[in-house]
Structure 1
Amino acid sequence: MSSSTPPPAEAAPGRLDRILAFMSLGIALLSIGCFFAIMIGTAMGMTQADYSSGIWPIVAILPMFGLPLAFVLIIALLILTWVRRGRASGTEG
């Protein structure tokens, strides 16, 4: 009978992992929603002048900054996960 070592226990995700995950998801969904709002507004006949008042400037700018920010947050989450798993397995790098 061979004695095999059990796989190392998976470390539970920390608070920072959950914050990064929910922030990236929220920002991405909000940006995609704003993108669709602009598409629907344009299809309904809104002109460029209509987008210059009210909340529309924010709706127009948010996808340009929100989607890259969500991508960066996802990359940061992946790096944190790789580091945590590397430390849990006893190797770094």
Structure 2
Amino acid sequence: MARGTAVPLNRTERIAAFVLGAIAAITVVDLIVLLVGRGAGANVSQGVWPVIAVLPAIGIPLLLVALVVFIVLMGLRSRRLAAGDARR
């Protein structure tokens, strides 16, 4: 393979990237909704607000774990390509 040639992501890397993006999007939207709700004076101790308040505490660590997994997958692929193993 020529140097500088882009290598497409394999299926596992695409799934990891999608999970990473989905967790990030849900967490950011949840944080925005929580901030707007608190700013509007909503009682965040009743209804669905406790669930909305807890989601970032779950989403951010999951996001970090998914990011580490994605980086490891990319490193493994790079190592395999450098070694000449064309396994996909």
- Under a length normalisation based on structure 2, what TM-score does the superposition of the two structures give? 0.80
- C-alpha separation in 2, matches of 1:36 and 1:21: 23
- In our comparison, the structure showing a higher alpha carbon Rg is 1
Q: Call closer, same or farther: CA 1:70–1:7 in 2, change over 3 Å.
A: same
**Aligned pair count?**
84
- C-alpha separation in 1, matches of 2:77 and 2:56: 31
Query: Is 2:33 the partner of 1:37?
Result: yes
Higher relative contact order (CA 8 A, sep 6+): 1
- 1:76 alignment partner in structure 2: 69
- 1:89 alignment partner in structure 2: 82
- 1:13 alignment partner in structure 2: 9
Residue segments in structure 2 that go unaligned for 5+ positions in a row: none
Residue 66 of structure 1: which of 41, 55, 59 is its match? 59
How far off its partner does 1:72 sit? 1.1
- C-alpha separation in 2, matches of 1:14 and 1:84: 9
Q: Which moved more, 1:19-28 or 1:5-14?
A: 5-14
Q: Call closer, same or farther: CA 1:8–1:88 in 2, change over 3 Å.
A: farther
Q: Percent identity?
A: 27
The 4+ residue runs of structure 1 with deviation greater than 6 A are: none
CA contact (8 A) 2:38 2:44 kept: no
Residue segments in structure 1 that go unaligned for 5+ positions in a row: none
- Under a length normalisation based on structure 1, what TM-score does the superposition of the two structures give? 0.77
How far off its partner does 1:44 sit? 0.8
- C-alpha separation in 2, matches of 1:53 and 1:35: 17
